[in-house]
Structure 1
Amino acid sequence: MPGFTPIVGAPFGVESAFDLSQPLDAVDAYAIRKAFAEHKLLVFRNQHLSQDEQARALGALGNVLPVGREVAEVSVDGTLGSTALAFHSDLSFTEEPIKVLSLHAIDVEEGETVTRFAHAIAAARHLSPALRDRLSRTSALALMAIVQSRRAIPAVIPDILPRAERPAVIPHPVTGEAILYVSEMQTVRLDGMNETDSDELLHLLFGLLYAPGNVYEHRWRSGDLVIWDNYALQHGRPDLSGVARRRLQRACVADHDFAELCPDFNSSDPRVKAIGRGEDYLADTAVY
């Protein structure tokens, strides 16, 4: 049965050396579910897993999307490249965000590349009861970000980009814990406020979310498998320019993939490419 210990020096998360290359029995799967529900982030060290083995292990936590329906690998010379990524939760701009994410270090420069995690449940606990209640009744607009390296909110919200509205504080879909569900990459504004007031409150909330004591920085070692709750935790990374090797195998728990949730989105649309270049989006009929 997997045994878990706190990650040394981390504000949250636990780690284990349990070998996931073999099928899990009912007791093993229960232990993983229990630890995941409590800690939200699990690190398994010294793993050597194929894509199928990673998916099988992740299956203890729910329905794993097959390869081909979601990004299966992240690398500095491939998907997502080496640019910085602002804090975000995958597909939070849709009606069904990804539930669980996992990355497995197949080939990395030891200790030279990181992923950062911010605990949105812990941040919600630091809200005053009055503010938590207010935010649970205040809608936050999340937009698919074309510029992902920093917070870059367009002056006019493009109607061609997927978006979703939900309260700024939501209950966790499994545990019911309050989650501060806003992010620097994807949250555009808070409803019922003018732009200045919304930006000021978001700035305060980001201060809670991304305070050093609320962030775990995982330094990758080959063989690491990190599994995290995509509702409870946000993730991001610094610029990775100069990192020669960073190949991470990816699998996720979700009911639907991006194509199913956003069937009308077209990444080849010239308006999307223009937004990515930093040009202002003016109207649905704008020509670039």
Structure 2
Amino acid sequence: ARAGEDKSTGLRGHPSGYFPNPSVRGRIAAGDSLMSIKLAPLQGSPFGVQGETQAALEADTTGLVLLRKAFDEHGLIVLRGRTLSMGEQLDICRIFGPVVEDSPWENFIISNTRSDGFLGAQQLLWHNDLAYLPVPYIGGSLHALEVADDATTTHFASGALAWDKLPQNLRERISGRTALHVKQKVFDRPNRLTDLDPGDVAAVHAVVRQHRATDRPYLFVSEDLTDSVIGLDRRDSDALLADLFACLYARGQTYEHRWHTGDLVIWDNEVVQHARGEISNEPRTLQRASIARLGYAQMYPSDLGIYGDQYDKTLADGTGAAAPVA
């Protein structure tokens, strides 16, 4: 069997195993007391699936495998029907990979009304969370705790779908290429290497990567965090990235999720990007939980001395200006 393969299902999972979390294995062992889940194509989207939140919480073995397979193959899952505590949201996230417990850097509130909320009203350009790290998060999830129905949206784009649609000449231009991804320092325009301070994190990744579980190729460049294609001058790099972004964010290839209270959106952060436009004055409070092998503070403990102070200040004065992750 290949590394990370679950022999009982024949499906590949993350390197740590198909269902590495003990709580998920315990749910499988429970067997008869659980229920199946039904997933359908995500309405209004060229990729993704949708289902019911309660069914995911109580999914039997078949349902757990179905959810994990949908995550790996489609990259986007929308669940509806009930409000979740952070613990319940993390329980669902564990179906798809490891989570970092009790971490305000990975699991936190996004709000334009609550004093403990981050990124409450800022525009966010297209990005994969923490693409500027050597090991970006596996996945992300957002859960609507309090929103005005249909008043606010989050956009999603699939790097796998973009690769499928990419013209052959563009595939040849990016063959073997890598790109530099930089830390998010500004929010109103794309981030560049020149925005960074000494010691800030940056990473180089292949422009075309293969999915860890399916081997499906996908584009890994984003409007917000990709500074440049390595080996090209600025003019040629910007031109190539513009062509790739035109495929990634083309009309008809992205999904706009209109939030309703109780919605839970889970995405494969390596394949699927997200973005947010301007926020209305209506209340918008979302609960964020991440699927990650390691937390940011575990990878870069030295940053606690910098961003930890910003985090504490944000909680103290309610500005919502600082954010643990992009």
| TM-score, normalization by structure 1 | 0.87
1:74 and 2:113 are equivalent in the alignment: no
Matched residue, 2:157: 118
- Tell whether 2:298 aligns with 1:260: yes
**CA deviation vs aligned residue, 1:86-115 (integer Å, no higher than 9, x gap):** 010111100110101111111111110110
* Aligned-residue offset at 1:9: 2.0
Change (3 A) 1:113 1:156: closer
Deviates further, 146-155 or 119-128: 146-155
Deviations 1:46-67 (A, max 9, x none): 1221111111111111111113
Say if 2:261 is the partner of 1:222.
yes
Q: Which has the higher helix share?
A: 2
- 1:103 counterpart = 2:142: yes
AA aligned to 1:264 is S
Q: Distance in 1 between matches of 2:294 and 2:95?
A: 18
Which range moved further: 48-57 or 213-222?
Answer: 48-57
- Which residue does 1:27 correspond to in 2? 62
Question: What is the TM-score normalised by the length of structure 2?
Answer: 0.77
Contact 1:82 1:239 in 2 (8 A): yes
Alignment gaps of 5+ in structure 2: 1-35, 311-326
How far apart are the structure 2 equivalents of 1:231 and 1:184? 15
Secondary structure in structure 2 of the residue aligned to 1:125: helix
Alignment counterpart, residue 247 of structure 1, candidates 278, 285, 293: 285
C-alpha spacing 1:157/1:57, structure 2 compared with 1 (3 Å): closer
Compute the displacement of 1:17 (Å).
2.1
SS state at 1:29 partner: helix
> SS at 2:236's partner residue?
helix
Does the 8 Å contact 2:110/2:288 carry over to 1?
yes
Deviation at 1:182, TM superposition (A): 0.4
Cα distance in structure 2, aligned partners of 1:192 and 1:210: 25
Contact 1:21 1:49 in 2 (8 A): no
Equivalent position of 1:10 in the other structure: 45
1:151 aligns with 2:190: yes
The equivalent position to 2:276 in structure 1, one of 227, 237, 244, is: 237
- Give the counterpart letter for 1:104 in structure 2: H
Does structure 2 retain, via aligned residues, the 8 Å contact 1:141–1:166? Answer: yes
Deviating more after overlay: 112-121 vs 255-264: 255-264
Q: Which residue of 1 aligns with 2:18?
A: none
Specify whether residues 50 and 133 from structure 1 end up closer, same or farther in structure 2 by C-alpha distance, changes over 3 A only.
Answer: same
RMSD (Å), alpha carbons: 2.1
Q: Is the 8 A contact 2:155 2:256 kept in 1?
A: yes
Equivalent residue number for residue 252 of structure 2 = 213
Instruction: Provide structure 1 residue ranges, at least 5 long, that are not aligned to the other structure.
Output: 271-288
Code of the aligned partner of 2:231: G
Whole-Å Cα distance in 2 between the matches of residues 75 and 213 of structure 1?
Answer: 29
Q: Deviations over 1:155-185 (max 9, x none)?
A: 4754432100011111112211111100011
**Structure-2 separation of matches of 1:140 and 1:60:** 31
* Superposition pairs of residues 126-137 of structure 1, within 5 angstroms: 126-129=165-168, 131-137=170-176
The number of equivalent residue pairs is 269
- Report sequence identity in percent: 36
* Structure 1 residues 197 and 22, CA gap change in structure 2 (3 angstroms): closer
